[in-house]
Chain A
Amino acid sequence: MKKLAILSMMVGILIVFPGLLQGQASIKEVTLNERTIQDPMKSWTITFTQPINKGTFKKQNFLIKDEKKRQIKAKLSLSKDEQKVTITPESPYKKGITYYLYIKGNVKSDQNEFLSEHTVLPFKMETASKGSKNSSGTAVSSGKQQTSSSGKTSSSGSGSKSSSSSSANSSTSSKTPGKNLVKVQTKKHSHFDEISVQVSDYVTKVKAGSHVFEYKGNNLFVLYQPGLKSGDKITVKGYSMSGKVLETKEVVIP
């Protein structure tokens, strides 16, 4: 009888302990709708409503796995305001494979508040190159994906909450990829490159570093930039009327 009591206690401890050790393991996991991407080197930017606790800015909390649940090598970067985490793959995504971006609930705000859930964003490379052909059109070079958009994940069910920036806990923003910088194209001329950006109604200024894009009307901004070399990366930022960065995209010069 005593033995039975000890055994059941041990089983109980075994069941309970993993949860205790992992702390957040018991919180729910929310899987967002699958996204289709075109850029094989697409980086994802997760925007939080508060600065995150730097101790939780680590690869265990922001990761990408393939469909066999193998973690792929990726680099992490944290914005100056500590509210944006960007995860960039070190090797290109393969077509037809579903990848999963994980934002673990272990992430804490600088006020030591945990996220309320684990967030998983499945995404897949577009199999046919129709999209890339369309996007290259006359401009972006031959089907290769030059633009690397910084998509933003959303934590399911809290989309409207987080977009209003009113949630107390750190949570991901609800902005969808390409919402504000709708289309970025580059075109090579003999003495300069032309970068054109189609934007949403909310973007009133577009910059690449200190270079300000010329507004052409109809939500189209254009920059003519000499001295760029093939492979150069240009970070394009779309600003709101109040000067807030609405979206950032990286363009690779073909």
Chain B
Amino acid sequence: MKKLKGIGVTFILLLSILIPGLDQSVSAATYPRIDRTSPAASEQNVPIDTDIRIYFNSDIRAISSQYIKLFEKRNGTYYDFPIKTIKKDGEALFILPERSLDFNKEYMVQFNGPAVDLQNGTYNQHLSYTFQTNYIDFYELMVVNEGRLMNMLEQYAPRQIKAFAPKRYINEISVIHKKTGALTGEQTSFNGITNIDINTKSEDVVNVHVDIMKDGKSLQKGYANKITGTKASKNQFTFDIGFSNIPNFYDVKVTVLNNAQQTIDSKIIKFAAEDGKAITSFKESYKYKTAGNGYTFHELLSKESLFASLLSESLMQDIKVQVEDR
């Protein structure tokens, strides 16, 4: 009886040693599978500068890029989104988009053939999952609803939360304003004339609209004309517009539009004609450190000057917040 018990105990011990090993070798040898993806399927607030990572259960040997696709959903239809590179690193597959993703869009990652050769076999399953690049308004988080920020920080670490400054397109605004009246004593008085030049980046910029405002009301407005020919600069556009008989104190609101007539940049400057001068000239140039860049909250908190630059260079309403999955 004792002998039987001893055999039983030895058998159980042997099983407990062998079974984990058996389990591993069986799974590795049987089928290649995906352990996880980043962004995860159905993620909502994926940062626009994300790369796409797919982690397999075995090292990757080779990639067949033609079976790997990335789509962007526009008006209910998925369109190809250009991929720059697909590369491997151990068990991870990296899909790097050609350019930054767009805000508020849905993306779909798709495998439609034997896309990846793993050490444990070829991954030849149809794969399709989506994620979204929705954002949270920085202004809402920081000013309107600070409770939301607290909730977010309970869920994500500051390194996972990213703030994106908007791209800026206006390089320079210059105003030349002549008051109504004569330039010299002998001259006949003539109307006031104002010229406004707007220098922008050439990328994405199609139209520039100018509003002359006073007390919040638009006094005169119009689209500025693009200067073409020899005076045009490389990678830059210059637009100009003229007005007559506008007051000596006013706001100039410049709005830059893309080909979809969406506002991509805007700026308000204040003009005050100088006392004792018939003509006042004013030029303001803009240089941005943060425009178009994304910063984690950790970066912003640890570098006060960066945080200050972000806040001073962009309207808070234009800064977008997204979260990175781990």
Enumerate chain A interface residues (CB-CB to B < 8 A). Answer: 189-192, 194, 201-205, 211-212, 214-219, 223-227, 240-242
Contacts and interface: CB of A to CB of B under 8 A. Distances in A.
Contacts of B249: 201-202
B173 to A, nearest CB: 11
B44 to A, nearest CB: 24
Nearest to B280: A241
A241 B268 contact: no
Contacts of B282: 204, 241
Contacts of A226: 304, 307-308, 311
Contacts, number: 66
B269 A215 contact: yes
Interface residues of B, number: 27
A242 B270 contact: no
A205 B60 CA distance: 59
A218 to B, nearest CB: 5
Contacts of A218: 215-216, 251
30 contacts: A189-B142, A190-B142, A190-B149, A192-B307, A202-B249, A202-B272, A203-B272, A204-B270, A204-B282, A205-B270, A211-B308, A211-B312, A215-B251, A215-B268, A215-B270, A217-B213, A217-B253, A218-B215, A219-B270, A223-B312, A224-B311, A224-B316, A225-B308, A225-B311, A226-B308, A226-B311, A227-B307, A241-B271, A241-B280, A242-B274
B170 to A, nearest CB: 13
Interface string B136-171: 000000110010010000000000000000000000
B271 A224 contact: no
A217 B311 contact: no
Closest 7 CB pairs of A and B: A224-B311, A201-B249, A227-B304, A204-B270, A226-B307, A217-B268, A241-B272
Nearest to B253: A217
B10 to A, nearest CB: 65
B113 to A, nearest CB: 49
A214 B288 CA distance: 13
B315 interface: yes
Given A189-B143, A191-B142, A241-B282, A201 B311 contact: no
A211 B310 CA distance: 12
Contacts of A191: 142, 301, 307
Nearest to A187: B143
Given A216-B268, A241-B271, 5 more contacts: A215-B270, A225-B308, A226-B311, A240-B272, A241-B282
